[in-house]
């Protein structure tokens, strides 16, 4: 009996040691699995589809016949970053779709791609065709906002209403190094978090080392995207006069990456745009402050006629 007990105890100890080693060596992988499990428990399902010869990953949630809503993530991001908002929209009756853009998340990463805004827009339109999205509401975050703006300008008949969270796509003065998006040291991880978060998270060194490791594996995609964006040919400053549909702009008041003045300028270029500023949040406002971001978006999408113009500030 004692020998049997010791064997069980030894096996449990080995499992604990193995789990601890996995968490120490690959904390981001463990975090991803837990987040995916949480999303699955909330009714978010994961799928793959072939688009233009590339395997594209996407998630969806909500009633089959619900109002169509398409979410487009940003630079270096993936569908899991919508974890706070997807279940909320699904709970309001939306059928929500969120693809991993080409090169990001669990989608294919072809060496032949330049990962430009134009190429990502092409992928999104192909995804809309494959999902039979006739005229969904579209939400774009950061670089995803840039892709979404271009989509709305190029194909205005394909978008019902456009929502932009801390969007890129307009010229602004850069006061940070783009190299920080693919950090090569713990110090560069710290600097990236300083730019992204109003109160930077203090990561343990073993987590920061895993961030550096993942950047070394996939950072080439991010750098190609940055290279395509910083050339300037795809900036939207002189194209937004063609944006006539209802637009909501939501911005974190403490965004150090793309400052709120960019959102104010966007509203000047698109007079019918509604501007919502969320206090206490940075560039990751949809993740840091999902409650006010969701409330502002829900109100805008449901308004009849669509809310136009004006500005409002929300507490965190």
pLDDT at 25: 75
Tell me the whole-structure pTM to 2 decimals: 0.94
pLDDT at 179: 87
183-to-119, 205, 218, 234, 293 alpha-carbon distances in Å: 25, 13, 11, 25, 29
pLDDT at 176: 80
Cβ-proximal residues to 50 (8 Å cutoff; 6+ apart), any chain: 56
pLDDT at 60: 98
pLDDT at 6: 58
pLDDT at 101: 98
25-to-14, 105, 187, 239, 255 alpha-carbon distances in Å: 16, 20, 19, 46, 31
For residues 107 and 54, is the Cβ–Cβ distance under 8 A?
A: yes
Point out the residues of the chain with pLDDT beneath 50: none
| Domains in the chain with CATH codes | 46-314 (3.40.50.1820)
- As a whole number of angstroms, the distance between CA 89 and CA 27 comes to 29
pLDDT at 14: 59
pLDDT at 71: 98
């Amino acid at each position: 009996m004692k020998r049997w007990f010791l064997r069980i105890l030894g096996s449990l100890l080995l499992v604990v040691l193995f789990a601890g080693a996995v968490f120490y060596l690959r904390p981001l992988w463990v975090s991803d699995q837990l987040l995916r499990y949480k999303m699955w428990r909330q009714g978010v399902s994961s799928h793959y589809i072939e688009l233009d010869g590339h395997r594209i990953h996407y998630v969806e949630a909500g009633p089959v016949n619900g109002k169509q809503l398409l979410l487009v993530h940003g630079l270096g991001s993936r569908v899991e970053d919508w974890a706070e908002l997807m279940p909320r929209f699904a709970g309001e009756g939306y059928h929500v779709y969120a693809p991993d853009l080409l090169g990001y998340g669990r989608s294919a990463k072809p060496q032949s791609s330049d990962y430009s805004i134009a190429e990502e827009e092409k992928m999104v339109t192909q995804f809309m065709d494959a999902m039979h999205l006739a005229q969904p509401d579209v939400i774009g975050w950061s670089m995803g906002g840039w892709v979404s703006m271009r989509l709305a300008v190029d194909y205005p008949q394909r978008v019902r209403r456009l929502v932009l969270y801390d969007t890129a796509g307009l010229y602004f003065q850069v006061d940070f190094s783009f190299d920080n998006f693919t950090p090569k040291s713990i110090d560069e991880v710290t600097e990236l978090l300083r730019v992204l978060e109003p109160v930077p998270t203090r990561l343990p060194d073993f987590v920061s080392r895993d961030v550096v490791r993942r950047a070394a594996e996939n950072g080439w995609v991010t750098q190609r995207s940055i290279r395509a964006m910083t050339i300037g040919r795809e900036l939207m400053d002189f194209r937004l006069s063609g944006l006539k549909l209802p637009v909501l702009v939501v911005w974190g008041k403490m965004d150090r990456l793309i400052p709120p003045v960019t959102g104010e300028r966007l509203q000047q270029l698109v007079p019918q745009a509604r501007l919502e500023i969320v206090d206490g949040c940075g560039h990751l406002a949809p993740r840091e402050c999902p409650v006010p971001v969701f409330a502002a978006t829900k109100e805008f999408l449901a308004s009849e006629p669509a809310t136009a113009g004006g500005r409002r500030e929300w507490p965190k």
